[in-house]
A and B are shown apart, each in its own frame.
Chain A
Amino acid sequence: CVDDLDTTPIDPNYKSGDKIYVSAESYKQGLSKLYGSFVLAGQEGAGGNADIAGGDPGSTVYTRLLFYCQELSTDAAIAAWNDGDIKEFHNQKWTSGNGFVGNMYTRLYLTIGFINQYLRDTEPGKLISSLTSDDLKNIEQYRAEARLLRAMVYYNALDLFGSVPILTEADPVGKFKPEQKTRKEIFTFVEAEVSEIESLLAEPGNNEYGRIDKGAAWALMARMYLNAEVYINEVKYTECIDYCKKIMPFYSLNDSYEELFMADNHLRTNEMIFAFACDGLNSQTYGATTYLIHAAIGGDYVPANAGINGGWGGNRVTSAFVNKFDQNNDKRAMFFTEGQSLEIDQIGEFTEGYMLVKYTNKNSDGTNGSDDNFVDTDFPIFRLADVYLMYAESVLRGGNGGSLGEATSYINQLRTRAYGNTSGNITEADLTLDFIIDERARELSWECMRRTDLIRFGQFSNSKYLWPWKGGLKDGKSVDAHYNLYPIPLSELNSNSNLTPTPGY
């Protein structure tokens, strides 16, 4: 009877390692978790059986936290809520004790952990023997995609937190204390990973929907090179242009701007290089676009017009942001102003500040998404418009391999789409860095890049650009440069004594 003590799970949903990977399909299910980690909170819909222990599951979703870190901390978004320490974002007063910053850090490394485990489980020597050669080829590609997702996470970690540890499938699973790496080491790691796996990825636009391909790999590299001066104090604009040029032949701008953010935006693969797939029935989450759409709605806006059951009265934009748009002509100025004031006197008052109703759960034919609580709208990560803007900026910043003329024509393509005609077009002389940062604000609003952009333009923390409520003051004030990085969370410093606190915190 002593043998009874050797047990393995009897639950059909919990299986030991040797019983989980039993078919080619199961390896794909393993891969789906790695993607799911960006939009879902856990193993059950609506946040049940959450990946992260403690706290509200909706606030542990990767893409929602990315919005907090990248948009709520800028002129582009301000939350009316009292949710935990959420106000610290727009006040630019976060500390290492901020729960959401902590969740962001946790989610980054949890995603890395899932990916590393997947890579261990799919090592060629460990695969089950019944696989066909096609299966093996597929799994090789799954592994490459897993590593590209991991590179994306490390890119976010590098961008948000700076100097952090690198963990790979070579590390064990336990309770050891990883060592911190420099930003340069992480930068180099991402570069090396992408170049190693590039050939194993699908050609741009040739993968199944919802999975990444070479286009996404290149876009990631372009984005990292664009910011290399910030990250590693090295100029990499030429490399940025190279990667932008690799991408462009495979994609074209979608005729309509708003279709890119609708419930059926999975149809926009012409322009969308990569978006995380969301679905109101099958991928239920309070993060991702469900959050983006609900939180942006309140006041007099009729929620049904966005295909949802009700607003959460959270996010508006500051007047500084609104003023960057030619509201009468630029279709990207998707502000809802009825009953809303432009200026914000009280942050907690949702009717102060314009609403930005860019994302919607309506399909392009006017029908609703599959559910009115959880939305179908996919969460965009890379799209061609961003590539055009990166190209133009890199040219202006002195990168080789591009021309001002081409840059201007790309920007004018965006402007023509936005204005519906050429009235908004610019000349080569108009194309300046000041124009670029504002054009990025207009084109890429709420696509989780604003903070990175402001930092690159030296406008995030100092007094060069003040927007309402920056630093917690209605008129805005300068904040210290250490806010350019989010702090390694207190809880993490507590459990890992190998880490040094982020300077300034």
Chain B
Amino acid sequence: QEKVVSGTVTDANDGMGIPGVSVVVKGTTTGTSTDFDGHFSISAEASSTLVFSFIGYKSQEIAVGDQTNFNIVLSTNTENLSEVVVIGYGQVKKEDATGSVIAIKSDDFNKGSISSPQELLTGKMPGVTITSGGGAPGSGSTIRIRGGSSLFASNDPLIIIDGVPVSSDAVSGMRNPLNTINPNDIETFTVLKDASATAIYGSRASNGVILVTTKKGKKGQVLKVNYSGNVSVNTIAKQINLLNTEELGEAIQQYYPAKVDLLGTENTDWQKEIFETSISHDHNINFSGSEYNTPYRVSIGYTDQEGILKTSNLERYTGALTLNPSFFENHLKVNINAKGLYIKNRFADTGAIGNALAFDPSRPVKSEDSKYDKYGNYYTYFNGDVRDVLAPTNPLALLNQKSNTSEVKRFIGNTQLDYKFHFLPELRANLNVAYDYSKSEGDVIEDAEAAWTESNNGNGSRKAYSQEKKNELVEFYLNYKKDFDQFDSKIDLVGGYSWQHFWREDANSATTTFDQSFEKSPASQSGTENYLVSFFGRMNYTFKDRYLLTFTLRQDGSSRFSKDNRWGLFPSAAFAWRMNEELFLKKFEKLSNLKLRLGYGVTGQQEIGQGDYPYQGIYNIGNDQARYQFGDTYYNTIRPSAYDEHIKWEETTTYNIGLDFGFFNNRLNGSVDAYKRKTKDLINLIDVPAGSNLKNRIVTNIGSLENEGLEIALNGIIIANDDWNWELNANAAYNKNEITKLTDSNDPNFKGVFTGGISGGTGNNIQINSTGHTTNAFYVYQQMYDVNGKPLEGVYVDRNNDGQITLEGDRYIYQKPSADWTFGFGSNLGYKKWTLSMNARLSLGNYVYNNIESDKGHFEGVVSSLNNITNRVADANDAKFFTAQYHSDYFIQNASFFKLDNVTLGYDLGKVCQDKLNIYLYTTVQNVFTITDYKGLDPEIFGGIDNNIYPRPRTFLLGVNVNF
């Protein structure tokens, strides 16, 4: 007996009706879809079952029975199993992915005062290490996936935003190229780690690929408005312990007794003077919906970040628009994205941080003494009646008398057309055209009163710079997807072509004379460009829904290499076995997923980091301040540049084995991956034999290195009931890196390539790249200690037993900056309307060279040869070195750490104002605490050399999220 059944389908999240939900009588072709408000009406028999389904939601089946009116609540689909993940040039169901792919959705992002997309990810994925560059507003981060496969060439992953690969090099005047996207607009991050997943990106895939998608409107959705905003207080977390005036006086008494009188009478805490507690706020409003059958989303953001170093500030305006119309009964889908950005920066001179450590605490910030009048009263070191040109500059003067501002505008736009052929719906054609434009203008003004600019040619200075970048992309591919049911097979083929052009132009103008009317006419212009042309293809073959095979091939051509070396071919293959689909495992009901993955692939590297013409002999014309005089004329010199005509791709081969698993309906799930990566023909900066080229160091292909590691990820819902919900996730990654070859000859006497320049002295390096060791390993003397454990000054182990201590003979390799193990932990606890979430990280086996201590921890030169006094760190009293001992392993300190990155407490006010608003309030503490043995300010230092870092603030934040 058929009857009319009707009802409403609503969203479990917001209770709103969902339009466009498909309602089908099970086992028939009878069906309908919900209207604009989520209502439906359908004829069905009482014995039948209705199936409600909609993309992104869990399907529901309801037996009709006697009822005629149903209220169906659909909840969003959070189960990993049927999730769709983005991969290169397409997407697959998570269960069908063959490579090491991890996706993180906006719900799982880190919370807090977040101004750059990377911060959303910190600690979230095994094998993805994100180190922020310090605490400056809008500062960038370094992302390393599986330790990095290159030595000198870039180790940055390829980042693709809504299908547009963005170049990883910085936009001048902008601290972080990824700042273009407002973190609030990001829907998902997908990280492709192993080569079988990345090789479709060929020459730029060696260090992993990060795919970012932004939020979009939904078809048929009514207008939704969301406002989120927060205000935060940034405080200085820790200061370096320096000598105060009295302690400094004691040191001078001990080491330079005749100079005690030089000490002043003040007791200035210079660090306190340069840092301040600052307040930042952030606002974002977005509208999404669907009009004229066109889903849209518009978002506007504003951020004002005040740095803890005085005078540093960032103001950012972002705007984003996405439109997703479709035509011809969904045969043609259009995806239009436009993102705009406007940033106003004021950069504080971070030299002030180092100067605050060095500047004499017995001196005032400002002095009324008339001799400082011309310096704006800022205390300035004198040698007799003359300004001491070598003494440190007053840190406050450096901040207040120098203005370094920039304005950056950037636009990234793309249009993607996806056409499903009318006569052959299995075939799709996809065209993606993108344009990434940025323009930055900067202005550096030093006041006429700035002591350090004093000159007989006029005081003060003004420098202006500008940069314009244009990156263009055209990509086209065909995708053929067909199920061959009679053979139990599915085939998915992709073939395409990609063309990219990167173009940049810089202009700099400078005057040494301060003049407000100074025109910003470019004094020197420079520019560069490069092209990438690629052909790529992929085949996915699935047999019996449980044996999955993927092959990819990409051929890349780069303008950075000569015709003979220009093209690189990058293949990959992967196999996955969905074991839980096998009969013998099906009986284990608790096992919801078990998949074995094997992958192999070759990827390349062409981000040389040494210009776009490394194979060509090119010539550089010198500027007007570096001319040479013949007769009465000054000639701009012409310098031939170094080059290697044979330079070519660096190649990384990756082997990956992984296991995905899920239990109890995936309530507990995770993965384990093991990998080995071998890089050969390393693009490397090496010392060439003197005279054989036109620089002492050139970039060439030499050497090889290996990375191997293990990654484990675990996610679990520990408690889920009406009141309580507790989710935990944890990940762990181990990586071991070894240089396996560095030279052509494998000469046993060859120690390696020195690297890791430090402050103090001239040309001192503290690290080495050496065969058989980790990259950037520390290379130091072995310190000897007295019975009390106090280091003996200048006494080291004579490792080669030749009776003397020499840099050549007695240094050894001791520790490295990279961690052996990194762990990430996340916890999300919900009780009724309360949520408490926190994220933490543990890093083990990473070491740091404490350059602050090695450079400012000895007493020689406390009074300089020009009689100026410089301060020392208080730890100097532990070692009591008189002379600098830059090469002692005493300063290589264990920097393993545990950091509680953020804690957020939220409260859902629910619907207020006659159900019109939905309000969520939260408060966050960021950079909560750090547990470490490291003696410096912060153990988390990319590269492992600690000097002059802008301290990461501790931030307290109050935020609100309103939906209406």
Contacts and interface: CB of A to CB of B under 8 A. Distances in A.
A140 interface: no
A279 interface: yes
Nearest to A39: B628
A30 B640 CA distance: 9
B612 A282 contact: no
Nearest to B886: A84
Contacts of B383: 298-299, 310-311, 313
Nearest to B634: A282
A49 B620 contact: yes
Contacts of B386: 302-304, 310-311
Contact of B566 (A5, A26, A59): A5
B499 interface: yes
A284 B613 CA distance: 28
A382 to B, nearest CB: 18
A477 to B, nearest CB: 16
A59 B763 contact: yes
B694 interface: yes
B801 interface: no
A9 B691 contact: no
A13 B763 contact: no
B637 A174 contact: no
A497 B694 CA distance: 19
Nearest to B861: A82
A86 B861 CA distance: 15
Interface in B361-405: 383-390
Nearest to B698: A175
Given A97-B807, A371-B456, A32 B627 contact: yes
A283 interface: yes
B621 A175 contact: no
Given A7-B559, A277-B629, A496-B689, A348 B806 contact: no
A4 interface: yes
A10 B529 contact: yes
Contacts of A494: 687, 749-752
A62 interface: no
B625 to A, nearest CB: 2
B613 A8 contact: yes
B865 A117 contact: no
Contacts of B624: 45, 282
A36 B306 CA distance: 46
A437 interface: no
Given A29-B638, A30-B638, A7 B695 contact: no
B786 interface: no
Contact of A113 (B566, B694, B807): B694
B626 A490 contact: no
B691 A114 contact: no
Nearest to B627: A282
A210 B628 contact: yes
Main SS of the interface on chain B?
loop
Interface residues of B, number: 97
A12 B623 contact: no
B692 A59 contact: no
A419 interface: no
Nearest to B635: A32
A103 B533 CA distance: 41
Given A29-B621, A282-B629, A313-B866, A495 B559 contact: no
A36 B637 contact: yes
Contacts of A208: 630-631
A496 B690 contact: yes
Given A165-B691, A173-B643, A33 B807 contact: no
Interface in A264-292: 277, 279, 281-285
A102 B499 CA distance: 45
B626 A36 contact: yes
A437 to B, nearest CB: 30
B700 interface: yes
B389 A1 contact: no
A36 B629 CA distance: 9
Nearest to B866: A313
Interface in B623-672: 623-632, 634-646
Contacts of A118: 640
Interface string A28-45: 111111011001101111
A177 interface: yes
Contacts of B455: 309, 371-373
B258 to A, nearest CB: 9
A40 B626 contact: yes
Given A51-B639, A114-B639, A302-B384, A99 B764 contact: yes
Contacts of A4: 499, 501, 531, 533, 559
Interface string A158-171: 00000001010001
Contacts of B628: 32-33, 35-36, 39-40, 210, 277, 283
Contacts of A20: 618-619, 621, 638
Contacts of B559: 4-7
Contacts of A373: 455
Contacts of B772: none
B530 A167 contact: no
A44 B622 contact: yes
Given A6-B559, A302-B385, A43 B621 contact: yes
B264 interface: no
Nearest to B761: A84
Given A9-B618, A114-B639, A283 B692 contact: no
Contacts of A110: 690, 694-696
Interface stretch (B139-147, B210-218, B219-227, B520-528): B520-528
Contacts of A105: 690
B97 to A, nearest CB: 32
A491 B688 CA distance: 9
A106 B457 CA distance: 34
Interface string B761-775: 111100000000000
B754 interface: yes
Nearest to B764: A84
A271 to B, nearest CB: 19
A495 B631 CA distance: 41
Contacts of A33: 622, 628, 637-639
B557 interface: yes
A317 to B, nearest CB: 15
B689 A176 contact: yes
A8 to B, nearest CB: 7
A165 B690 CA distance: 9
B619 A17 contact: yes
A121 B533 CA distance: 33
Interface in B163-181: none
Interface string B535-573: 000000000000000000000011100010010000000
Given A1-B533, A13-B621, A43-B626, A28 B693 contact: no
Contacts of B641: 14
Residue in B456, B563, B696 with the greatest tally of chain A CB atoms within 10 Å: B696
B697 interface: yes
Contact of B629 (A177, A279, A371): A279
B808 interface: yes
B757 interface: yes
Contact of A46 (B457, B625, B808, B883): B625
Given A15-B621, A16-B618, 10 more contacts: A11-B528, A13-B620, A29-B635, A43-B621, A53-B696, A85-B761, A174-B646, A175-B692, A298-B383, A348-B860
> 8 tightest A-B contacts by CB?
A45-B625, A310-B389, A84-B762, A109-B690, A55-B763, A350-B865, A97-B807, A80-B865
19 contacts: A5-B557, A7-B613, A9-B528, A9-B616, A10-B529, A20-B638, A31-B630, A32-B638, A33-B639, A43-B639, A45-B626, A49-B623, A83-B762, A95-B807, A99-B761, A174-B693, A177-B689, A210-B629, A294-B389
Interface of B: 383-390, 454-457, 499, 501, 524-531, 533, 557-559, 563, 566, 612-613, 616-632, 634-646, 685-698, 700, 745, 747, 749-752, 754, 757, 761-764, 806-808, 860-861, 864-866, 883-884
